[in-house]
C-alpha cells in the first residue's frame, strides 16, 4: 500500500534494542485535529546493521507484551499511557516475519497466522497539545505462552508531533 508516514529525516526515528528494530513517525490529521502515528517492529535480519544472532540476543522469537507511551506537552507536562499489547495486537517476532496474535473477545490472546516482513501498526495520539511521543515496548523472549527468559524493554525513541503547512494527512 501507500505509506505517507515519513521514512527518513528528522520526523522519523529508528532504534535497535537486543536485535529488535523500532521505527516510528507521525502525520497530522487535520480533520480529526490529532496526529496519526506509525510504529514498525522487526527482528533485524542477518546482514543488516544491528543484527544479533539468536544466541547473542538470547531468543529465537520475542512477543510483545506491554507498552508505555509518554506524550510530552508544550507546557512541559507529560501524559503517560500504559497497557497490554498495541491496539489489541501481540505480535510474536521472528527473523523475517511475525505471527499475528490478537486479543480475543474473551480476553485471551489467540495465535494468528505467520506473516512475512515487518509488523506495522498505526493509531492516533489523541487530542491535545502534545509535541512529542516516546516510550518503550516490553517483550517476552520466546512467547507469552512459553517464556524463554526475563521480559525486557525495547526503546521507542522520541519523535515529534509537529506540523508544517504542507505536512499533514488529508
- Rounded Cα distance, 99 and 117, in Å: 10
What pLDDT was estimated at residue 169? 52
C-alpha span between 77 and 85 (Å, rounded): 25
Instruction: List, for residues 101-155, the tens digit of each pLDDT value.
Output: 999 988 899 999 999 999 999 998 876 678 899 999 999 999 999 999 999 999 9
| pLDDT at 168 exceeding the cut of 60 | no
Query: Which pLDDT tens digit goes with each residue over 50-98?
Result: 999 999 999 999 999 999 999 998 888 999 999 999 989 999 999 999 9
DSSP for 11-32, please give it: TEEEEEETTEEEEEEEEEETTT
- pLDDT of 167 higher than 60: no
CA distance 79 to 95: 34
Amino acid at each position: 500500500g501507500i505509506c505517507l508516514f515519513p521514512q527518513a529525516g528528522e520526523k522519523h526515528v529508528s532504534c535497535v534494542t537486543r536485535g529488535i528494530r523500532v521505527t516510528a513517525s507521525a502525520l497530522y490529521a487535520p480533520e480529526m485535529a490529532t496526529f496519526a502515528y506509525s510504529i514498525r517492529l522487526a527482528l533485524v535480519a542477518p546482514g543488516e546493521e544491528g543484527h544479533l544472532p539468536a544466541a547473542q540476543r538470547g531468543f529465537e522469537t520475542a512477543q510483545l507484551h506491554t507498552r508505555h507511551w509518554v506524550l510530552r506537552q508544550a507546557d512541559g507536562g507529560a501524559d503517560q499511557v500504559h497497557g497490554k499489547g498495541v491496539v489489541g495486537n501481540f505480535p510474536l517476532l521472528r527473523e523475517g516475519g511475525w505471527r499475528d496474535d490478537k486479543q480475543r473477545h474473551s480476553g485471551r490472546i489467540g495465535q494468528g497466522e505467520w506473516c512475512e516482513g515487518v509488523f506495522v501498526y498505526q493509531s492516533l495520539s489523541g487530542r491535545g497539545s502534545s509535541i512529542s511521543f516516546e516510550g518503550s515496548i516490553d517483550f517476552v523472549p520466546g512467547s507469552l505462552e512459553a517464556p524463554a527468559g526475563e521480559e525486557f524493554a525495547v526503546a521507542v525513541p522520541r519523535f515529534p508531533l509537529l506540523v508544517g503547512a504542507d505536512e499533514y494527512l488529508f
